[in-house]
Amino acid sequence: MKTWRFNSTSTTRMEPRSRWNRGSRMQVMSAPKDRNEPSKASLTFAARQTFVRPMQRAITALINDYHQAVANHDDQQKDELRRRILTQLEEFDATAGDGHAYPDWVRPVMRANALAAFGELEDAIHWEAVGADAAELDMHKAISANNLSDHYRRLADHEQAVAFATEAYRLWPENDGIIVNLALALYRAGQRDAAGNILEQLAAISPAGATDGILAAHLQFEEELREMIDLPIVRGMLKQADEETGDEAAGN
């Protein structure tokens, strides 16, 4: 031809709305049996890069709020947020992505992020692929590949999930969100040893106890990652993260 979302970006090093706000996202799960029920997406954050436009951040915030409404089983709030998100996406399209430097990439990717949050994964894949085809920067190609991997994993198409996650990692190997997503894809595809090896690389550069890091956010909010507890590296990361949380609580 595309997550920790994304929106412009679920894979960039992200800045949560209020540190690691629970509104900034939750568990990644397979597509729900009820196709009318939105499945949960990857962590969605507003990227720090200067090219991220104000409207992008606003839409991302609404998508995060939508995830929270899903978690709260608040159908009324979900309906209102969906309406607001779609309205803002129309404005985003009409203004060339709010003046984004790469509008042909960012407009379909933002729409894909919203559709993924709504649980409309096939449509999300379509729009993410449109954005991936228009991507010029390796970073954007990596983001789109990572997002596509996330969507396919949620559809239980593990072959495609691994293929796209591997491509994202090739393009941006130092991005911790991409590393986590690759580990999830490998694990769900039955490649547990490979998943553990990838997480060991991540743990070496992004300690689980570093509460301001993306790994910490994944450990806190990604149910799928916590379900990989049969891997020694995951058990160790969870223990370290829990110890850090306990130390912080004791310090307060």
Q: Where are the domains of the chain?
A: 14-251
Inter-CA distances, 248 with 17, 150, 208, 209, 227, Å: 21, 32, 14, 10, 24
Residue 56: what pLDDT?
96
Q: Which residues contact 24 (CB under 8 A, 6 or more apart)?
A: 16, 17, 18, 43, 44, 45, 64, 67, 217
Domain 14-251 classification at class level? mainly alpha
User: Does 232 have pLDDT greater than 60?
Assistant: yes
Structure confidence by residue, pLDDT tens digits, 71-109: 899 999 999 999 999 999 999 999 999 999 999 999 999
Q: Decide if pLDDT at 246 tops 80.
A: no
Alpha-carbon span 146 to 126, nearest angstrom: 14
Residue 248, pLDDT above cutoff 70 = no
Percent of the chain with pLDDT over 90: 57
Q: What is the pLDDT of residue 102?
A: 96
Q: How far is CA 81 from CA 68, 210, 232, in A?
A: 11, 32, 40
What mean pLDDT do residues 219-235 have?
84
pTM for this model (two decimals): 0.77
Q: How is residue 21 written in tokens?
A: 């706000």
Query: For residue 184, what are its two tokens?
Result: 């999830």
Structure tokens at 45: 């954050």
Q: Are 47 and 15 in contact (CB under 8 A)?
A: yes
126 exposed, middle or buried (CB, 10 Å; 0-12, 13-18, 19+)? Answer: middle
Query: For position 19, what pLDDT does the model report?
Result: 25
For a pLDDT cut of 70, what percent of the chain falls above it?
71
Least confident window among 11-15, 64-68, 182-186, 223-227: 11-15
Residue 11 in this model has a pLDDT that exceeds 50: no
Name the nearest CA neighbour of 41 among 32, 52, 51.
32
Mean pLDDT for all residues in the chain: 79
Encode pLDDT of 129-163 as tens digits: 999 999 999 999 999 999 999 999 999 999 999 99
CB-CB contact of 150 with 10 (8 Å): yes
8 Å CB contact between 30 and 40:
no
